[in-house]
Amino acid sequence: MKKKIPKIIIMSGYGLNCEEETQFAFNNAGGKADIVHINDLIKSPKLLSTYDVLVFPGGFSYGDDTGSGKAYANKFKNHLAQELQDFVNRDTLTIGICNGFQIITNLGLLPGGLMHNSSGQYIDRWVDLKVVGHSPWLGKMKTISLPIAHGEGRYVIDEGEYKDMKKKRQVAFQYTKGTLCKFQNLKDNPNGAMYDIAGVLGYDGRVLGMMPHPERAMFSHHRPDFQLQKEILKRKSGKIKQIPTDGEGIILFKNAINYFK
Amino acid sequence: MISRIYIKPTRKDSRGDLYQKSFNNLDLTGKVTSVELVDSYTIDAKLSKTELANIAQALTNKRIESSSINTLPPSGNFSFICEIGFMPGVTDNVAHTTMEEIVDTIKRPFTPGEAVYTSRLFFIAGTVSESDVKKIAYSLHNQLIERFNIIKKSSIKNNELSTIVPSVKLAKKVPVIEVALSVSDDELIKIGKEGIFDKESNTRRGPLALDLASMKIIQEYFHKLKRNPTDIELESLAQTWSEHCKHTIFANSIDDIKDGLYKTYIKGATNKIRKEKGDNDFCISVFSDNAGGIVFDKDHIITHKVETHNSPSALDPFGGAITGIVGVNRDTIGFGLGAKPVGNTFGFCFGNPDDTRPLYRDKNLTQKMLPPKRIIDGVIRGVNVGGNCSGIPTVSGFARYDDRFRAKPLVFVGTVGLSPRKINGKLAHEKNAQSGDYIVIVGGKVGADGIHGATFSSVAMDSSSPATAVQIGDPITQKKLSDAIVKEARNLGLYTSITDNGAGGISCSVAEMAKECGGCVVDIEKVPLKYEGLTPWQIWISESQERMTLSVPKNKWKEFNALMESRGVLAVRIGEFNNSKDCVVKHNGKVIMKMAMDFLHNGLPTRSLVSELTPKNLSEPKLPTNINVTDSLLALLRSGNIGGFAWISEQYDHEVQAGSVIKPQSGPGRVNTDAQVIRPLLSSTKGVVLSTGLYPSYSDIDTYHMAGSAIDTAIRNAIACGASMDNLAILDNFCWCSSYDKSRLAELVLAVRACYDYAVGYGTPFISGKDSMFNDFRGYDKKGNPLSISIPPTLLISAIGVIPDINKAVTPEWKVAGDLVYVLGETHDELGASEYYKLLAGNDTTKIGTQVPRVNWQKNKKTYKALEKAIKTGVIASSLSISSGGIACALAKACTGSMLGADISIKKLPGTYTSGSNALFSESQGRVLVTVAKKNKSLFEKMMKGIACANIGAVSKGSTLIVKDKNGKKIIDTNIDKLYQNYHSFSSKMSPLGDLPEVENKI
């Protein structure tokens, strides 16, 4: 069933808001991504079966009212439960980023849940991640630094379930003190997530949910240490050299595309 | 049937601990030992048991929550429950979502009268008394919009709570009344000031803000028509003629300025600049639309608009601020045929957060004003929720503090938008409602919220300020609307014109759009309502949020309506545009308003304003004999006006849309940047630079130079990070006080003259502006003594520019040890009203000095052009605009940002300053602190030929900042640790986290 260019569906509507840049990232990585409003999918549920990658992008669906991701997940469940089940049972990929992660935990695709940050505050900053899971999304990545922006990103899970996940390499990412935490003197875990979990996997690694935003790290200039790196590079090369434009985040999207090659 | 569903987290909820901590800071007699939060959904609808169970299930994420129906959830040991809910009629966004979820679950719509109401229960355990819990309740709610209910554990029966349904019940009223205008002048004044007399309730309906001259003109107009006006006609005129909408102070003639300030100086400057630029004119749409637009590239327009939402934010800081930010988003959506919001900006002028003096709006001391800390927290949260929920990055902002912003804070909110230049072959910034088009309202429904908002903000705040002037924005309703319009309907060509419903509601938006074709007729009963019982005049002027007005050609209506429906957006036809030259409103077929368009828009009488400057009695501060420059520097860094505001920046999503280039904070030490860069179009490497400048304190000495400095700073901040002088536009936001006072008017004239002089000098056109002229408070102190507080006259200048290559942008912090440090520009003894002099003057506000910075645009323009070129060639490693706190604070910020030290000597520093401390704390304009790699020394210095520029030292590897004066004496000797701690100390004090923002170790 593998083909050259996978078809990607990015969900939108009701306050999801990262669909455009996520589409750009997938297309930039060599995919072909469509943005589809949930109501259009509800109108033509069979549409889902024509896609290879399902994306729940970041955003604020329903304003986080009644709990983040809950209302959007309810709508999806009420109208598209069977189609979703069929989709994930096929050899497809699914990703939920930030609010999308909250949605797919509410959909029951992934274990655990997301609660208010331990600080009680919404926070936008960068984090360093240790890549610990096994998944087509992750490829051979060892570490990656990405930005987060959320108020309800504290991942919680029962100890027993966690042990099981660990064994199955279902923990995708863990917050760690890497380059950027050291650069900006930040603590590793930004939200009090249990076991420092930033992302989890399901369905043999084909379904990924993650709080950090890879699409916001697709360009090198996104990184907080870009300006310093730029200066260092300039001095090394003697004159202004072309700075690499790709950021680390794009790898994730490329991995997904490569899965279908 | 009324049911209650309670949702409670099953795992440890960190919010409980945070509330416990904040409750225990309230000076209670007892101690709170634990707090648990439970969400309550009160559902007033006919539901079966199974339906209710299904709803409860839908509202519960079983992994982290449990639910109970009607009975309270099992809880630990608690003594009280404090319930916080909304007052009737207040926008309840969560309830709105809940209703949608319920409808989707039970698969039938709610019938009229069925509704959901949310509230939050705080289960409080500890040794607290009932009066303690009351204190807690006051800390949790705002009495203008919320209610509280304290329940003692022992009073709870059957584990159930009594249920309050805050539904709106309006008495049935006569829909339209006539207002007799053949009355005495005294009565006319009263109608204008306090509103139309309502016989049914025996009260006046609230301010029309129409003066006697206006009332007389209205009297004459209806006298000629041989009838009395209806209430809706009078209310409509009040809205359209309000200061808020007509900007009379800027429009009327003043002294010998016949055409008024706006036409002569603001628009005058732009016209002159555009003419001078000729083929290089980059303006596309200025002053005529909801926002100003300039060229981004050959296919795109970039827009900007900055609004204020001051008066509502004083009463309900959260609601006021969120309404402000989503409101200015609509100015973007309403630009041309619709621009996509790509960036939000904010600016806050607050009172001192430590100020706890009680202030009251009324003599009987029943209407207490919120203290600055509450206002600060609420406003910041409002912009947070508004921006974050809308998926618009909050990229740029500032906060300032002055005791005079205590009663009326200034809340600036701005939005940058992106639009194609052409849509379907037509210019996207042009729009024209056509005669025969439907008048269509999209978005939210109408309630009594926000009635008299436009007229309210046109007067000083006192006890008669109406509580209903406060609205609460609903970013999700708007997000749906925005996406459906800007991303879909616009490109399909489904409408001919669009505008925002802001001040004055549809009375202003429909009448404004009707100008495009020449008239309109509205069937008022077609406007969708939140609840029954509103009278036509209320519907007409209500400022209920998230609504836009569109003109939809009849043959496009079906397609338009189907699209809106499929996006969950309410769209309703309420009438038709025509060319009748009249603005007509009908109620169930009966004409209740018929006024000539010409009178409605141009009938407002002009008046000539006269200004007269009052001389100021100011003196120099007493300088301490032994000035410790290091201590003064650290003290300045600790002040909110200079220190960082990480606590604000980090809770605003500035990276959504993935266009972040120069962020709100920069470098390892996270210094706040003075200008930010975004990449609004990911397929292009072009960027947009945003910056601001303002100096409210300078107004205490001279408003001409205050305005000059604001313009120079906004421009300098933008240039310092890579903007181009030839491609920079500016926006003005005047926030004045007591604007009918001759002396205040004189100060205004001076400031506006400076706007003309400097905008023309720099060649930076004004593209949009707004004013808020009555930022005064008249109230009472705790003894009931009358008191008034006016803000210092404030002019915010926002700059927006386009840069060709985002990778060339430069940040303010040092980069590499060994780099040479330069100051561009001259330093003079210009310390009047500077942060340093204010620090020395303390409470004696007359001793703030007399010499404010005077901007020499000819010299500065050369400097900026040279810097622009140097940045383009890539020789500038860091670039920091020197502003408040002078060179000393600039050095400290560059060190803090980079966590690198510096060895500095001011021996060669150009300028006429007379002492080391003056040199370091002077706020002379036109200066930039830059670093250059050693190897680029001669190249850089060649570029700076003919410009005041001095190498004052180098970035050091060490951890100290050393500054030597002319004689080689160390006048600043400190280290990075101290600079970092002091720079971030205000922010950590303000942060709810209570320590350095998100920092793990002490450095």
pLDDT in tens, B490-503: 999 999 999 998 88
Q: DSSP letter at B263?
A: I
Cβ–Cβ below 8 Å for B480 and A15? yes
Return the percentage of chain B with pLDDT > 70, whole number. Answer: 97
Cβ–Cβ below 8 Å for A124 and B654? yes
3-state secondary structure of A5: coil
Question: What is the DSSP track for B103-132?
Answer: HHHHTSPPPTT-EEEEEEEEEEEES--HHH
Contacts of A12 in chain B (CB under 8 A): 483
Q: Roughly what angle, to the nearest 10 degrees, separates helices B372-390 and B317-333?
A: 30
For residue B534, the model assigns a pLDDT of 86
Q: Are B579 and B467 in contact (CB under 8 A)?
A: no
Q: Which residue has the higher pLDDT, B474 or B791?
A: B791
Cβ–Cβ below 8 Å for A63 and B93? yes
The answer to whether residue A213 is catalytic is yes
For residue B262, the model assigns a pLDDT of 95
Residue A202's DSSP bridge partners are A207
Q: Which residue has the higher pLDDT, A217 or B200?
A: A217
For residue B754, the model assigns a pLDDT of 98
Mean pLDDT of B335-362: 94
Mean pLDDT of B367-377: 90
Nearest to B321 by CA among B368, B373, B377: B377
In whole angstroms, what is the distance from residue B186 CA to residue B181 CA? 11
In whole angstroms, what is the distance from residue A129 CA to residue A196 CA? 9
Q: Which of the residue ranges B76-85, B525-534, B673-682 has the most confident prediction, judged by mean pLDDT?
A: B673-682
Cβ–Cβ below 8 Å for A187 and B999? yes
Cβ–Cβ below 8 Å for A234 and B682? no
What tokens does B160 get?
């159930």
Q: Which of A150, A215, A222, A248 is catalytic?
A: A215
B969: CB partners within 8 A, 6+ apart: B916
- Of B130-144, B178-192, B984-998, which gets the smallest average pLDDT? B984-998
The answer to whether residue A98 is catalytic is yes
For the stretch B859-886, pLDDT in tens is: 999 999 999 999 999 999 999 999 999 9
Asked whether the predicted pLDDT for residue B621 surpasses 90, the reply is no
For residue B461, the model assigns a pLDDT of 54
Contacts of A241 in chain B (CB under 8 A): none
Of the residues B807, B808, B940, B988, the best mutation for testing chain A's interface (the one with the most A CB atoms within 10 Å of its CB) is B807
3-state secondary structure of B169: coil
Helix, strand and coil percent figures for chain B, each rounded to 5: 35, 25, 40
- Of B34-43, B314-323, B433-442, which gets the smallest average pLDDT? B314-323
Q: What is the CA radius of gyration of chain B?
A: 29
For the stretch B508-517, pLDDT in tens is: 999 999 999 9
B562: CB partners within 8 A, 6+ apart: none
Asked whether the predicted pLDDT for residue B127 surpasses 80, the reply is yes
- Of B602-606, B721-725, B969-973, which gets the smallest average pLDDT? B602-606
B946 vs B863, B936, B950, CA distance in Å? 9, 18, 12
Phi, psi of B733 (to 5 degrees): -130, 105
- Of B146-155, B193-202, B367-376, B711-720, which gets the smallest average pLDDT? B193-202
Contacts of A70 in chain B (CB under 8 A): 58-59, 61, 101
Q: Are B382 and B324 in contact (CB under 8 A)?
A: yes
Nearest to B903 by CA among B980, B827, B975: B975
Of all residues in chain B, the one with the smallest CA distance to A40 is B566
pTM of the full predicted structure? Answer: 0.94
In whole angstroms, what is the distance from residue B907 CA to residue B926 CA? 19
For residue B465, the model assigns a pLDDT of 47
In whole angstroms, what is the distance from residue A238 CA to residue B784 CA? 72
Contacts of B1003 in chain A (CB under 8 A): 185
Mean pLDDT of B722-750: 95
For residue B91, the model assigns a pLDDT of 81
For the stretch B78-105, pLDDT in tens is: 999 999 998 887 888 899 999 999 999 9
A/B interface, count of CB pairs below 8 Å = 209
In whole angstroms, what is the distance from residue A233 CA to residue B908 CA? 31
For residue A3, the model assigns a pLDDT of 62
Q: What is the 3-state secondary structure (H, E, C) of B449-513?
A: CCCCHHHHCCCCECCCCCHHHCCCCCHHHHHHHHHHHHHHHCCCCCCCEEEECCCCHHHHHHHHH
B12 vs A155, B18, B501, CA distance in Å? 12, 12, 43
Helix (H) or strand (E) holding B551: strand B547-552
Cβ–Cβ below 8 Å for A221 and B479? no
Q: Are B59 and B147 in contact (CB under 8 A)?
A: no
3-state secondary structure of B890: helix
What tokens does B885 get?
């706190």
Q: Are B850 and B863 in contact (CB under 8 A)?
A: no
Q: Are B503 and B239 in contact (CB under 8 A)?
A: yes
In whole angstroms, what is the distance from residue B594 CA to residue A111 CA? 63
In whole angstroms, what is the distance from residue A207 CA to residue A94 CA? 5
Nearest to B7 by CA among B77, B109, B75, B101: B75
Q: Are B79 and B155 in contact (CB under 8 A)?
A: no
Cβ–Cβ below 8 Å for A60 and B1003? no
In whole angstroms, what is the distance from residue B409 CA to residue B375 CA? 8
- Of A95-99, B158-162, B452-456, B906-910, which gets the smallest average pLDDT? B452-456
Q: Which of A150, A152, A181, A213 is catalytic?
A: A213
Q: Which residue has the higher pLDDT, B165 or B552?
A: B552
In whole angstroms, what is the distance from residue B631 CA to residue B888 CA? 11
The answer to whether residue A215 is catalytic is yes
Q: Are A138 and A198 in contact (CB under 8 A)?
A: no
For residue B993, the model assigns a pLDDT of 56
Asked whether the predicted pLDDT for residue B472 surpasses 80, the reply is no
Q: How many CA atoms lie within 13 A of B426 on its CB side?
A: 15
Q: Give the ranges where A93-203 is alpha helix by DSSP (H).
A: 99-106, 159-167, 179-184
B259: CB partners within 8 A, 6+ apart: B253
Q: What is the 3-state secondary structure (H, E, C) of B598-656?
A: HHHHHCCCCCCECCCCCCCCCCCCCCCCCCCHHHHHHHHHHCCCCCCCHHHHCCCCCCH
Asked whether the predicted pLDDT for residue B455 surpasses 80, the reply is no
Q: Are B656 and B704 in contact (CB under 8 A)?
A: no
B97 closest CB neighbour out of A71, A121, A216 = A71
B673 vs A189, B274, B645, CA distance in Å? 25, 30, 10
Contacts of A188 in chain B (CB under 8 A): 1000
Mean pLDDT of B766-776: 93
- Of B75-79, B627-631, B745-749, which gets the smallest average pLDDT? B75-79
In whole angstroms, what is the distance from residue B254 CA to residue B745 CA? 9
Q: Is B334 exposed, middle or buried (0-12, 13-18, 19+ CB in 10 A)?
A: buried
Cβ–Cβ below 8 Å for B992 and A121? yes
In whole angstroms, what is the distance from residue A84 CA to residue A9 CA? 12
Closest chain A C-alpha to B796 CA, distance in angstroms: 27
Mean pLDDT of B751-773: 96
For residue B1002, the model assigns a pLDDT of 33
In whole angstroms, what is the distance from residue B66 CA to residue B82 CA? 20
For residue B1003, the model assigns a pLDDT of 33
Return the percentage of chain B with pLDDT > 90, whole number. Answer: 76
Q: With a cut of 50, which residues of chain A have pLDDT below it?
A: 1
What band does B996 get if pLDDT is binned at 50, 70 and 90? very low
Q: Roughly what angle, to the nearest 10 degrees, separates helices B93-106 and B49-58?
A: 120
Contacts of B668 in chain A (CB under 8 A): 183-185, 225, 228
Residue B901's DSSP bridge partners are B956
For residue B462, the model assigns a pLDDT of 55
Mean pLDDT of B688-692: 98
